[in-house]
Amino acid sequence: MKLGRLNHIGVATPSIADSIVFYRDVMGATQICEPFDLPDQGVKVCFVDTPGAGGALDGTQIELIEPLPGNTSIAGFLEKNPAGGQHHMCYEVPDIHAAKAEFESMGKRVLGEPRIGAHGTLIFFVHPRDMGGVLTEIMETPKEAH
Ligand code: CO
């Protein structure tokens, strides 16, 4: 496994609109993308940028995640954590298929096949029980990234 940059931290929320106000007014975020639906995954998401080193535009993002009607996984998370909370961490890798093979060779449970994620590149998740309790998203680095 070739560890890449921490692309984003996923935060489940019952209301992206309320979370945007929090990140803007409490945390001072100035770069907040327009929320959009990922119908395949049953969620609405919104990315909040944090600055990179020296104010560069390559900082780690916060991915706000709100369930769409019919969603079960995020809705279930919010049942246990009604105010929302940290849901997953996402690391970049240069080659998604190589990363999947490596995790599987180490006995880690990859959840499903690689699929297009919120950044338009392939992603997969690894079971938190195999990852020290952290639901882990692995994402192929966008080609024209930053
Ligand atoms: Co994510």
Span 9-36, pLDDT tens digits? 999 999 999 999 999 999 999 999 999 9
How many whole angstroms from 87 Cα to the centroid of ligand 1? 9
User: 53 and 66 in contact (C-beta within 8 Å)?
Assistant: no
In a domain? residue 1: no
In a domain? residue 31: yes
In a domain? residue 113: yes
In a domain? residue 52: yes
In a domain? residue 62: yes
Q: How far apart are CA 67 and CA 73, in angstroms?
A: 8
In a domain? residue 103: yes
Number of domains in the chain: 1
How many whole angstroms from 43 Cα to the centroid of ligand 1? 11
- Grouping H, G, I as helix, E, B as strand and the rest as coil, residue 55 is helix
In a domain? residue 51: yes
**Known catalytic membership, residue 63:** no
Catalytic residue among 34, 137, 140, 144: 137
In a domain? residue 117: yes
How many whole angstroms from 105 Cα to the centroid of ligand 1? 23
Q: Which domain holds residue 113?
A: 6-145
User: 93 and 106 in contact (C-beta within 8 Å)?
Assistant: no
85-129 pLDDT, tens digit per residue, is 999 999 999 999 999 999 999 999 999 999 998 888 999 999 999
How many whole angstroms from 107 Cα to the centroid of ligand 1? 22
Band (pLDDT 50/70/90 cuts) for residue 144 is low
How many whole angstroms from 96 Cα to the centroid of ligand 1? 15
- pLDDT at residue 145 above 60? no
Band (pLDDT 50/70/90 cuts) for residue 52 is confident
Q: For position 140, what pLDDT does the model report?
A: 95
Q: Could you tell me the CATH number of the domain that includes residue 12?
A: 3.10.180.10
Around ion ligand 1, residues with a beta carbon closer than 5 Å are: 10, 63, 90, 137
The torsion region of residue 80 among left (phi > 0), alpha (psi -120 to 50) and beta comes to alpha
Residue of 3 and 18 predicted with greater confidence: 18
